């Protein structure tokens, strides 16, 4: 009976579609596993505060090369159970044999986590090129197929989308790039056809690029929710590293604004909030249904942006968006 009830739980993608039907702009927060125990302990109170503003879901990343596998699983479980927020756990193919993936998915089932973001993942530290492990998965598509094959529709599955194409496909020759971009779109369609139900994009700083990407997806029959990945600039060094690593196009005007303030961390943070708020306004006005915020485990910037958009009021947090989980906790307390 309990299995049946869990099978019936709405997946995150369905919740997002529901929001859109009701004309509600939604938002979500992404976190990464901190490197130290102290970092982990500090993350939870911050997360609790952020979740009180009503994100539709939160997700937690899986470190390069599966280096944070146990910690990711542990944090995801606590997010779902203690924080009481609908949680999506990232799962990557890097260094992952099917057996390891099976174990991870079983642990998710036990913890009541039924949403997964299926990714290829970055190469392990110190490795330039991505390589599949012997007998492992070649790409995210394999992972999506595997989850569907072994678990039917128990899990809601999200996949990654790349508005500027995957970093590996980005090149200087315009003709070659156009081919690569087309190939990437077709591959994304395969991930959706195999069972992916929503798309979260790589960061970008040019709204036109994202809006074109959405149109291109719709034109080839990808109809699921597409969430823009919004990464506020939090520090100059971090921003330059990240955009370099992802080969992100940064409009000249952003670089020009940053140049004179790059040694003033406060000014950079302030500009980061201002820029992301303007970007999100542009996206929402163009019909983007929701925003996925790369929080970098910090609350100030993302809450500042959502406040600036009028999506939350900073004075008083919204009610927990998943009261069902809270009620269940109360019931369990009563039983104990």
In sequence order, which residues have a C-beta less than 8 Å from that of residue 191 and are 6 or more positions away?
118, 140, 141, 144, 159
Q: Does residue 30 carry a catalytic annotation? A: yes
Which residue is catalytic, options 30, 86, 164, 184? 30
Structural contact between residues 111 and 76, judged by C-beta atoms closer than 8 angstroms? yes
Structural contact between residues 29 and 55, judged by C-beta atoms closer than 8 angstroms? yes
CA distance 294 to 242: 12
DSSP 8-state assignment for residue 83 = I
CA distance 302 to 295: 6
Strands (E), the chain: 26-31, 57-60, 87-92, 115-119, 156-161, 198-203, 226-230, 290-294
In sequence order, which residues have a C-beta less than 8 Å from that of residue 232 and are 6 or more positions away?
272, 273, 275, 276, 293, 294, 301, 302, 305
Q: For 149-167, b where at least 16 C-beta lie within 10 A, e where not — what string?
A: eebeebbbbbbbbbbbbbe
Q: Reduced to 3 states, what is the DSSP secondary structure of residue 252?
A: helix
Q: How many Cβ atoms from other residues are within 10 Å of residue 140's Cβ?
A: 25
Query: H helices of 25-154, where?
Result: 37-51, 69-78, 98-111, 140-151
Q: Which residues carry out catalysis? A: 30
């Amino acid at each position: 009976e309990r299995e049946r009830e869990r099978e019936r739980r709405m997946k995150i993608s369905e919740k997002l579609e529901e929001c859109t039907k009701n004309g509600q702009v939604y938002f979500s927060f992404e976190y990464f596993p901190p490197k130290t125990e102290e970092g982990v302990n500090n993350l939870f109170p911050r997360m609790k505060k952020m979740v009180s503003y009503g994100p539709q879901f939160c997700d937690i990343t899986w470190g390069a090369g599966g280096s944070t596998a146990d910690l990711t699983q542990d944090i995801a479980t606590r997010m779902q159970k203690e924080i009481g927020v609908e949680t999506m756990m990232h799962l990557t193919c890097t260094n992952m044999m099917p057996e390891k993936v099976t174990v991870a998915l079983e642990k998710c089932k036990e913890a009541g986590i039924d949403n997964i973001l299926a990714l290829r993942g970055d190469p392990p530290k110190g490795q330039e090129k991505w390589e599949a492990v012997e007998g492992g998965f070649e790409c995210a598509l394999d992972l999506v197929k595997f989850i569907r094959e072994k678990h039917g529709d128990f899990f809601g599955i999200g996949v990654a989308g790349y508005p500027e194409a995957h970093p590996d496909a980005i090149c200087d020759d315009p003709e070659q790039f156009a081919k690569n971009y087309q190939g990437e779109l077709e591959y994304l369609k395969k991930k959706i056809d195999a069972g992916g139900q929503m798309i979260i994009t790589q960061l970008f700083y040019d709204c036109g690029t994202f809006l074109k990407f959405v149109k291109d997806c719709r034109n080839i029959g990808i109809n699921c929710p597409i969430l823009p990945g919004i990464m506020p600039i939090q520090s100059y060094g971090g921003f330059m590293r990240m955009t370099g690593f992802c080969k992100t196009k940064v409009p000249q005007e952003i670089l020009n604004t940053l140049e004179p303030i790059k040694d003033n961390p406060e000014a950079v943070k302030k500009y980061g909030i201002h820029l992301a708020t303007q970007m999100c306004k542009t996206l929402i006005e163009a019909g983007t249904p929701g925003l996925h915020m790369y929080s970098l485990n910090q609350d100030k910037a993302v809450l500042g942006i959502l406040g600036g958009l009028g999506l939350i009021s900073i004075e008083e947090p919204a009610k927990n968006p998943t009261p069902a989980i809270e009620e269940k906790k109360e019931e369990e307390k009563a039983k104990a």
